[in-house]
Structure 1
């Protein structure tokens, strides 16, 4: 069993290219079914790592390959998973 707090402490890494995506900042849950639908990880910073972020990685539950002690391995196509943030 894993708590959301514990998951937020793990770094998310794309297994396709071993790129570090960052840490979970939010989740999306289907309240009707009570199931976790997506993990939300901030996208890359705009300019030289500054000036905020306007996109986020939305990683669906089926794209999570393994949850380990320190990391969460995902298998995503970054271009498709990188979505304009609503916030």
Structure 2
């Protein structure tokens, strides 16, 4: 039986197998609590300007789009990735103005 721990997944880089582009590292997984099966892996969006302007959308890759889990990388098939939008943080350089 092949198995992998979630902590092992978090150390792996995700690569699109159709064009070789790096997508990022696994940051989280989504689990169906009724079936106890992994639904997707989530790659957090990159921070914008050191996090001052929030971060880009998360990339959510469905489990069925994973082609291969290797020792260092995860290859995913070309698929329309799902993006989760984060709430934008308002910044004010003038703290007394509303």
TM-score (norm 1): 0.80
Q: Distance in 2 between matches of 1:36 and 1:23?
A: 17
- 1:81 counterpart = 2:82: yes
Contact 1:43 1:82 in 2 (8 A): no
Report matched runs for 1:35-46 at 5 Å: 35-46=37-48
Matched, 1:67 2:82: no
**Is the Cα–Cα contact under 8 Å of residues 65 and 79 in structure 2 kept in the other structure?**
no
Alignment TM-score, normalising by the size of structure 2: 0.72
In structure 2, how many angstroms separate the alpha carbons of the residues matched to 1:77 and 1:43?
A: 18
CA RMSD of aligned residues (A): 2.0
**Residues 53-64 of structure 1 correspond to what in structure 2 (within 5 A)?**
53-64=55-66
1 or 2, which has the higher strand percentage?
1
Count of paired positions: 83
Q: Which runs of 4+ in 1 moved over 6 A?
A: none
Unaligned runs of 5+ in 1: none
Larger radius of gyration: 2
